[in-house]
Chain A
Amino acid sequence: MIAALVAERCTNCAACVAACPTQVFEPGPTAPVLARVDACQTCYLCELACREDALWVNPDDADASHPPLDVLLASGQLGQVRRDHGWDEPFDAGQLDDYRLLGPLLNEGAEIAARRYAEQG
C-alpha cells in the first residue's frame, strides 16, 4: 500500500492525484493527502508519476507502514522504479531493449519445470 509521501521533496504538482487509479490522494494545501489508503491497489504507478521521487509504496498490499524517514531516504528505494523503467528518459535510451526476452525466459522457466518433473517420474 502507499505508505509515505515525503513532504520535504513534494512540490505539490498533483501528478499523483491525477494518476492514481483508485483516487487514494486528495489535493492538499502544501502536499496531497493520503485520503483513501484502503482503496490502494499497490500498483506503484504513483511512484512512476512523481518526478520528485517523493512517494514510497509498501510492497505488502495490506500494510501502509513505512520505515523511519531517514532510513527511507538512505535506502535508495525512493524513485527506484521510475529509474528502472527509464520512465522520463528519451525514447532512444534503450529502456525496453531487453523486453523481448520476457517470452523466451518465461518459456525457459516452464521447460526447466517440465524437465525436472519428468525426471522425478
Chain B
Amino acid sequence: MIASVIVRSDVLIIGGGMAAAWAAIAAAETGARVIVVDKGAMGTSGVTATGGPGHWWVPEDPGLRREAVEKQAAKAQGLGDPEWMARIIDLTWRHLPTIAAYYPFGSDGRGGRYVQGVRGPEYMRALRRFAEARGVTILDHHPATELIADGEGRIVGARGIVLATEDAWEIRSGATVLATGGVAFRSGLIGSHTNTGDGLLMAVEAGALLSGMEFSISYSLSPAWASTRTLPYYAARFFDTDGCEIDVPPPKAGHAHQQALGAAMDRGPVLADLSDAPPALHGLLRRIQPLTVAAFERRGIDLWRQRFPVRLFGEGTIRGTGGIRIVDADCRTEVRGLFAAGDTASREPVAGAVSGGGAVNAAWALSSGRIAGVAAAREAQATRSGAYAPASGLGRAGLRPRRAARTLDVPEIVAAAGHEVHDYRKAFWRRADQLRNSLEVLDTHWHTLADHGRAEGRALVELRAAVAMTASARWCLAAALDRRETRGIHVRADVSRSDPAFARRLLVGGFDQVQTQADGPLAEVAA
C-alpha cells in the first residue's frame, strides 16, 4: 500500500484515551515533537471518556504508602510487583493535580479540592487541552492499522487510514507508544466501541508477548437496554419475572456475585430493584453521573421505585489485567522502538491476578503513560536520523492475505469472538473441555481471516478490528486453558484451588499456533 500522507515525528502515540494523553504530555514536556493518532477522537473515545476514573491516591507519608503497597501486593496473589506499585502511587500523586488549569476540580467538602476521582468527559477534555497546550499534534479519526519496521526489526512508525477521506497515512517516528486501551469484544460496554484490541494485535505482529490474558473475566451490571456506570446498583435486589427473589451474594463477594447473576440471566430475564439504595443517592446521582440518569429518565422509568431488566456487559481485558508484557522500568515491550501504556499493557505488576478497576488501573494508565512518553522521547532523540530508512509493514491478517481475497462476514466473526469470551456459562465456569471447544471455533475464524481477509479504507479498519478481537479472544482462552488452577478473577470450575506452582505470570502470543509459556525464571508451564 502506498501511503498518500507521510509525516514525521519524534514520538508517535497510538490511541487517544488517558494513557495516550499522559504519554503525549510527558513526551512533549521533554521537547520532543509528538503526534497522537486516535481511531475515534481524543476527548471522547475510549473507556476513560465515559467513565469516572478514581485514581489510587495515597498521601506522601512513607508509612501510609508502605501499607497501601503491602495491601495491594497481598491482593495481587503473587503476581504483583511492589516496586511498580510504589512508583505509580507516587507519579499519580504528583501529576494528577497538574490538570487544574483545564479541569474544574470540585470541593473535598473541607475547603480544599477533591482530586483523586475525576469525571470522564471533563477529564478527557482537560487532558486534550493540556496536550494541545504542550504542542502535541492530535489527529482524530486516524486509526492505525499496522506498525512499520526497518530492516533490523526496529519499529519506525505506523500506517493507518484517514477516515474522512479513506486515504492511507504513514507516520515515521523515532519511538512509538501503543495506548489503544483494552479489548471489550464489542460487548456494548460503555465507551468501548473503538477498544478492539488493535494494539495487542500490532504488538504481537511485531514480536511482542502478552501477559495475564487469562485475567479477563469481569462484567459491568447495567440496565438491559444500555451499559451505564454501575454506582446505582450496589444495593440492588434481584427478581425473576414471576416476582421471586433471586439468591445473589452481595457485590463484595466478587466472582460469586457475578456468577449468580450470570446463572440467573442464563435462565431468563432478571429484574433489579433499587429500593434499598442509599436514599442520598436519589438526589445526588444526577449531580455525580448525569448520563446514568438519562438512561432511565428518557424511558420514563423511576429507577428507585420501578423494577427494570438488567444484564452483565463484558469488560474483556478492560477491568481485567491482561495486555502487552512490559519488559523494563521504561514501559518497553520486547520490540525495539515500541512502548506500551494503559490498558494495552499488562497491569499484572500493579494488579496481579485481580481486577485493577476502581483505582489501580487509572493510576497505572496515568503513570505508565508518563513513563512511556518520557522514555520514548529519550529514545527518539538518541536515534534521530536525517533520512527515511526503508521500512516495511508488519500487518498480516486483513492486510496481506495468504490466499485469494474474499468478502467475509465480519459482524459474524466479531460476534463469535465476543460470545466465546463473554458468554456467562463459558466465562463463569471455565473448564478445559469448554475452553478447547471455544478455541476450535475461533481457530476456524482465524484461518479464514488470515487466508482471505483484505479490505481498504474504512472497511479495512473494521476488518483489522475483527482480526484483533479474534486473536485477542484466542489469547485469553489459551491462557485460561493453560492456567490450570483458580487464581484471582480467573476461576476454573474444573480446578477450583490455587496451585503454588502457578504463582507466576503466564505469557501468550502467536497467531496460527497460539502458545503460552511461563514468565520469569520458574519452570515452564506445560501446554
* B-binding residues in A (CB < 8 A): 18-23, 39, 41-45, 48-49, 57-63, 77, 80-81, 84-87, 89, 91-103, 105-106, 108-110, 112-114, 116-117
Asked if B193 and A101 make an inter-chain contact with CB atoms under 8 angstroms apart, the answer reads no
Q: A59-B294, A101-B280, A112-B277 are in contact. List 11 more A-B contacts (CB 8 A).
A: A19-B44, A21-B194, A22-B193, A23-B163, A42-B227, A43-B44, A58-B298, A93-B104, A96-B122, A99-B288, A102-B231
Asked if A105 and B278 make an inter-chain contact with CB atoms under 8 angstroms apart, the answer reads yes
Asked if A59 and B299 make an inter-chain contact with CB atoms under 8 angstroms apart, the answer reads yes
From A80, A87, A98, A113, give the contact of B284 (CB < 8 A): A98
Contacts of A102 in B (CB 8 A): 52, 54, 117, 231, 288-289
Q: A21-B193, A59-B294 are in contact. Are A85 and B235 (CB under 8 A)?
A: no
Min CB distance, B269 to chain A, in Å?
A: 16
Q: Tell which of A43, A58, A62, A87 has the most Cβ of chain B within 10 Å.
A: A43
State A77–B291 Cα separation when bound (angstroms).
12
From A57, A85, A91, give the contact of B290 (CB < 8 A): A85
From A39, A92, A110, give the contact of B234 (CB < 8 A): A110
Measured CB to CB, the nearest residue on chain B to A109 is B234
State A66–B236 Cα separation when bound (angstroms).
30
Asked if B226 and A100 make an inter-chain contact with CB atoms under 8 angstroms apart, the answer reads no
Asked if A21 and B40 make an inter-chain contact with CB atoms under 8 angstroms apart, the answer reads yes
Q: Which 9 A-B pairs have the closest CB atoms?
A: A109-B234, A21-B40, A96-B106, A21-B45, A84-B290, A113-B250, A41-B193, A91-B104, A109-B235
Contacts of A49 in B (CB 8 A): 44
Q: Is B170 among interface residues, defined by CB-CB distance under 8 A?
A: no
State A43–B295 Cα separation when bound (angstroms).
10
Contacts of B188 in A (CB 8 A): 41, 61
Asked if A96 and B114 make an inter-chain contact with CB atoms under 8 angstroms apart, the answer reads yes
From A19, A44, A61, A81, give the contact of B225 (CB < 8 A): A61
Asked if B191 and A43 make an inter-chain contact with CB atoms under 8 angstroms apart, the answer reads yes
Q: List 27 A-B contacts (CB under 8 A).
A: A18-B41, A19-B43, A20-B41, A23-B163, A41-B192, A43-B49, A43-B191, A45-B121, A49-B44, A59-B225, A59-B295, A77-B294, A80-B294, A81-B294, A85-B122, A93-B104, A96-B105, A96-B114, A98-B287, A99-B117, A99-B119, A99-B287, A102-B288, A105-B278, A109-B235, A110-B234, A113-B236
State A43–B188 Cα separation when bound (angstroms).
10
Asked if B226 and A61 make an inter-chain contact with CB atoms under 8 angstroms apart, the answer reads yes
Which residues 83-111 in B have Cβ within 8 Å of A in the complex?
A: 103-109
Asked if A44 and B294 make an inter-chain contact with CB atoms under 8 angstroms apart, the answer reads yes
Q: A44-B291, A93-B104, A98-B287 are in contact. Are A60 and B252 (CB under 8 A)?
A: no
Asked if B117 and A103 make an inter-chain contact with CB atoms under 8 angstroms apart, the answer reads yes
Which residues 282-339 in B have Cβ within 8 Å of A in the complex?
A: 284, 286-291, 293-299
Contacts of B177 in A (CB 8 A): none
Which residues 203-229 in B have Cβ within 8 Å of A in the complex?
A: 225-227
Min CB distance, A19 to chain B, in Å?
A: 5
Asked if B252 and A110 make an inter-chain contact with CB atoms under 8 angstroms apart, the answer reads yes
Contacts of A63 in B (CB 8 A): 225
Asked if A105 and B114 make an inter-chain contact with CB atoms under 8 angstroms apart, the answer reads no
Contacts of A87 in B (CB 8 A): 121-122
From B40, B250, B251, B284, give the contact of A101 (CB < 8 A): B284
Min CB distance, B59 to chain A, in Å?
A: 16
Asked if A113 and B40 make an inter-chain contact with CB atoms under 8 angstroms apart, the answer reads no
Asked if B298 and A77 make an inter-chain contact with CB atoms under 8 angstroms apart, the answer reads yes
State A85–B103 Cα separation when bound (angstroms).
13
State A110–B235 Cα separation when bound (angstroms).
6
Q: Annotate B462-486 by CB proximity to A: 1 below 8 A, 0 otherwise.
A: 0000000000000000000000000
Q: A18-B41, A19-B44, A98-B287 are in contact. Are A112 and B117 (CB under 8 A)?
A: no
Measured CB to CB, the nearest residue on chain B to A48 is B121
State A21–B47 Cα separation when bound (angstroms).
11
Measured CB to CB, the nearest residue on chain B to A115 is B250
Asked if A21 and B280 make an inter-chain contact with CB atoms under 8 angstroms apart, the answer reads no
Asked if B50 and A98 make an inter-chain contact with CB atoms under 8 angstroms apart, the answer reads no
Measured CB to CB, the nearest residue on chain A to B229 is A102
Contacts of A84 in B (CB 8 A): 286-287, 290, 293
Q: A100-B106, A108-B278 are in contact. Are A77 and B297 (CB under 8 A)?
A: yes
Which residues 102-138 in B have Cβ within 8 Å of A in the complex?
A: 103-109, 114, 117-119, 121-122
Asked if A60 and B104 make an inter-chain contact with CB atoms under 8 angstroms apart, the answer reads no
Asked if A117 and B107 make an inter-chain contact with CB atoms under 8 angstroms apart, the answer reads no
Contacts of A61 in B (CB 8 A): 188, 225-227
State A39–B461 Cα separation when bound (angstroms).
13
Measured CB to CB, the nearest residue on chain B to A67 is B298
Min CB distance, B342 to chain A, in Å?
A: 16
Q: A23-B141, A102-B117 are in contact. Are A42 and B226 (CB under 8 A)?
A: yes
